[in-house]
């Protein structure tokens, strides 16, 4: 593995962790609003991610030399995980519907995401456009 590849992976993990931290903040805000409305919030909120490095950064208690320089941005999401407010769930990149909002997609994946979001069936008797595992996750 070359230095460029290691650097790229570290940057990807840093960016994904920053996004996970922001999503965790938003989850806490929504949970607080629901509690104010007296709607019970039971159990941790699932944080769906598609980067194994991010899941490891969030769930493992210590930092490494590669992650130490952005450790401060991970403190909140790590604390929320430790308090059982959020729980990260790793899914495959092919099943990440949110990619439609964040990056340019190949035509096939764009069509799959679009069909799922519009709840369109390809052949009339399927539940949706994604794999069975993705349908279970995104219900």
Give the pLDDT of residue 31: 93
Residue 70 shares a structural domain with residue 104? no
CA dist., res. 69 & res. 61, Å (int): 15
Residue 75 shares a structural domain with residue 31? yes
Whether 74 and 115 have beta carbons less than 8 Å apart is answered as: no
Give the pLDDT of residue 29: 94
Number of domains in the chain: 2
Residue 38 shares a structural domain with residue 76? yes
Q: pLDDT of 1-30, one tens digit each?
A: 555 454 555 677 788 888 888 989 999 999
CA dist., res. 95 & res. 106, Å (int): 14
The DSSP element (H or E) to which 102 belongs, if any, is helix 99-102
Q: Which domain holds residue 128?
A: 94-138
Q: Is the pTM of this model over 0.75?
A: no
Q: pLDDT of 33-57, one tens digit each?
A: 999 999 888 899 998 888 888 888 8
Q: pLDDT of 121-132, one tens digit each?
A: 555 555 544 556
Residue 78 shares a structural domain with residue 131? no
Tokens of 30: 């929504």
Could you tell me which of 9, 18, 114 has the C-alpha nearest to residue 66? 9
């Amino acid at each position: 593995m070359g230095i460029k590849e290691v650097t790229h992976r570290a940057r990807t993990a840093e960016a994904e962790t920053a996004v996970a931290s922001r999503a965790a903040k938003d989850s806490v805000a929504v949970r607080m609003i629901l509690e104010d409305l007296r709607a019970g919030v039971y159990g941790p909120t699932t944080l769906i991610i598609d980067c194994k490095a991010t899941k490891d950064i969030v769930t493992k208690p210590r930092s490494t030399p590669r992650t130490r320089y952005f450790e401060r941005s991970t403190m909140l999401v790590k604390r929320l995980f430790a308090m059982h407010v959020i729980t990260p769930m790793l899914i495959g990149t092919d099943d990440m519907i949110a990619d439609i909002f964040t990056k340019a997609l190949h035509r096939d994946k764009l069509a799959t995401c679009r069909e799922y979001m519009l709840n369109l069936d390809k052949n009339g008797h399927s539940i949706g456009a994604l794999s069975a595992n993705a349908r279970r996750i995104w219900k």
